[in-house]
Amino acid sequence: MTSTLPAVTTPQVPAQRQAVPETRSIGRTDPSNRLRRRSSRPDLILCGVLLVAILVVQGWNIADYPTLSDDEGTYLAQAWAVQEGRGLAHYTYWYDHPPLGWIQIALLTWIPAALSPESMTVGTMRAAMLVVSAVSAVLVYVLGRRLSLPRWAAGLGMVLFGLSPLSVVLQREIFLDNLAVMWTLLAFALAASPSRHLWHHFGAGIAAATAVLTKETMLFVLPAVLVTMWRHSHRDTRKFALTGAVTACVLIGLAYPLFALLKGELFSGSGHVSLWDGIKYQMTRPGSGFILDQGSGSHGVLHSWLYYDRVLILGGLAGGLLLLVTWRWSVTARALAGPSFAVVILALVAMRPSGYLPAMYVIQALPFLALVLAGGTASVAHAVLRRRRSEAETRYVTGGRYALAAVLAIAAGAYVVPRWYDGDRTAVTADANAPYQAASKWLSTEVADPEDTRVLVDDALWLDLVHAGYEPGRGAIWFYKADLDPAVTKTMPRGWKDLDYVVASPTVRRDAVELPNVKAAMEHSTPVAVFGSGEDRVEIRQIQTASGGVR
């Protein structure tokens, strides 16, 4: 008779003869007890302390560093459009990304935006990302524990995830990837639920689908979620759990094409945007070259990541490799199969020779790199302290083990701490956005009648202008829409002559080369105010008509 439930890996026919329930509620009390045991007080304290540290480092100076990114402006402006009831975007929504990401941003920023509409600007609303970071960081800890990492290693994973200078920079920004990471981590945590509850696995499928609908690149990580679920489900209930999860994921995922279908925009056709065209655009984006090829765009992106932090990326990859190699002997390696798998997939995808590698790509790998590095560390620690250790071992040998462990820990600390200190100090002290803020102030105070003024501006400043009274879409114009959106081009029949100002931020200067209207506007304008200097300067340029006057 098998009186207790066998472990997941037991090959015997399990639990064939468990007792008839002694009380009616046996099925309810059992797992919840287990859960209670797992979220014990030391866990709460450790996780809480680390969370405070992460929030302080990530939150301090969040609005001023890093430099406002164009994409942040895009997503926040679209979230603003959702809040204002203007649809999914204030321009035509063209299926560039599934809209769930900025719908969530809209929800996150709903209350502050309602209390103070002017706060709906990129710098201020970065604060909302702290919520996302906090949830993700806690989930990394929970997942680490659920994948049977010791407490310290789970804590290490959380620190790596939340305090690496690379994470601090990227997680502060309003990127869809950060939200998608949160949902993916939730999917992993549910997949590894210790109670192995059918509806937890079902929920994991829903969370995974939400992650994909937040940022479609999360699709790559789904197999790793499935692996985690397979390992953590019981063989008696596995088929229900896995099919439940897959079904939930697919059905929720189908909501997106269904949405397009209901709007009559599933397939391409003349006169309207379509999901098909959106996917085609994303799939045919020009590649950025092979990542290890010096001089390719991808290589540059890799360098920008390594500039912020080498430890997490190279250490994480090394940790993944270590876990793969020690698969046969190491329990930790097997327990971390899911995150290792995710790291491997994401690394392989990044190595595609012809793919497009955006700078945010690394965001979705951060939690897995952190967990795998923490797991690798735990594996090494175990090997040093416990491996082949017997009762009879002399005190000197044991002392030697601890000495070695201490030396390794100190060496690692000596390498990591100064670098991270520098990186994180920059993050909490640097002011990278002064030119933007000054430009925003100038445009809201120095222009006589904003209602009738037309400005080409990049997405990061767009909401500032809207709050200053410029007309969204027609007055305050996303600069590239002047060339790419027929609806906008139509409103300026005389081209650049119908404009008043161009806010030439680094992004605008970079892209103007390929956008005729923007380029012409740049050429026929003179700076009236310049903030900052060098490459990062922001110029406000006034359009000069041929007669030498302004419009």
Partner 1 sequence: MLTSVFIAAVSLALFWMAAFTLWWQMHAWRTPEVLASTRFSRPDGGEHVSFSLLLPARHEQAVLDHTIQRLLESTHTDFEIIVIVGHDDPETTEVANKAAGRDPRVRVVVDTHEKKNKPKAMNTALPHCRGDVVGVFDAEDQVHPELLAHVDHAFRTTGADVVQGGVQLINFHSSWYSLRNCLEYFFWFRSRLHLHAQKGFIPLGGNTVFVRTDVLREADGWDPNCLAEDCDLGVRLSSVGKKVVVAYDSDMVTKEETPGSLMSLLKQRTRWNQGFLQVYRKKDWKQLPTFGQRLLARYTLMTPFMQAFTGLIIPLNIAIAVFLDVPVSVAFITFLPAVTALVTFVFEVVGLHDFGKQYGLRVRFVHYLKLIVGGPFYQVLLAGAAVRAVWREQRGRNDWELTTHVGAHLTSAEVTRDLREDVPA
Positions that interact with partner 1 (CB under 8 A): 1, 5, 14-22, 24-28, 30-31, 195-199, 234, 236-237, 239-241, 243-244, 247-248, 251, 255, 258-259, 262-263
* Other Cβ atoms within 10 Å of 57 Cβ, number: 21
What's the min distance (Å) between Cβ of 243 and partner 1? Answer: 5
The CB-of-204 to partner 1 minimum distance in angstroms stands at 14
On whether the CB atoms of residues 286 and 275 are closer than 8 A, the answer is no
- Minimum CB distance to partner 1, residue 333 (Å): 25
Least distance to partner 1 from the beta carbon of 411, Å? 44
Query: Whole-number minimum distance, CB 241 to partner 1, in Å?
Result: 8
Closest CB 10 distance from partner 1, rounded Å: 12
User: In terms of Cα–Cα distance, which of 345, 429, 376 is closest to 160?
Assistant: 376
Q: Kind of pairing, strands 501-504 and 525-531?
A: unpaired
Q: With respect to partner 1, which residue has the nearer C-beta, 19 or 392? A: 19
Using the minimum distance from each CB to partner 1, give the nearer residue, 208 or 312.
208
What single-letter amino acid sits at 125? M
Task: Return the number of the residue (26 or 407) whose C-beta is nearest partner 1.
Answer: 26
Q: Which is nearer to partner 1, 205 or 475 (CB)?
A: 205
Cα separation, 76 vs 105, in Å, equals 7
Q: What residues contact residue 403 under an 8 Å CB cut-off, 6+ apart?
A: none
The nearest distance, CB 119 to partner 1, in angstroms, is: 27
Q: At closest approach, how far in Å is the CB of 197 from partner 1? A: 5
Q: Are 496 and 432 in contact (CB under 8 A)?
A: no
Give the H or E element holding residue 158: helix 151-163
- Report the residue number, 263 or 441, with the smaller CB distance to partner 1: 263
Tell me if 157 sits within 8 A of 78, measured CB to CB: no
First to last CA, the chain: 91
Contact partners, residue 449, CB within 8 Å, separation at least 6: none
Helices 176-191 + 337-350 axis angle, to 10: 150
3-state SS class at 515: coil
Classify residue 428 by burial, with Cβ atoms within 10 Å: 0-12, 13-18, 19+.
Answer: middle
Min dist CB 207 to partner 1, Å, is: 16
**In which element (H, E) is residue 525 found?**
strand 525-531
Complex with partner 1: residue 17 or 37, whichever CB lies closer? 17
Q: Which residue number, 68 or 206, has a Cβ lying nearer to partner 1?
A: 206
Cis ω before 66 (30° cut-off from 0): yes
CA distance 179 to 254: 20
The residue with tokens 């876990």 is 323
Backbone dihedral region of 295: left (phi > 0), alpha (psi from -120 to 50 degrees) or beta?
Answer: left
Closer CB to partner 1, residue 254 or residue 331? 254
Q: Which is nearer to partner 1, 269 or 399 (CB)?
A: 269
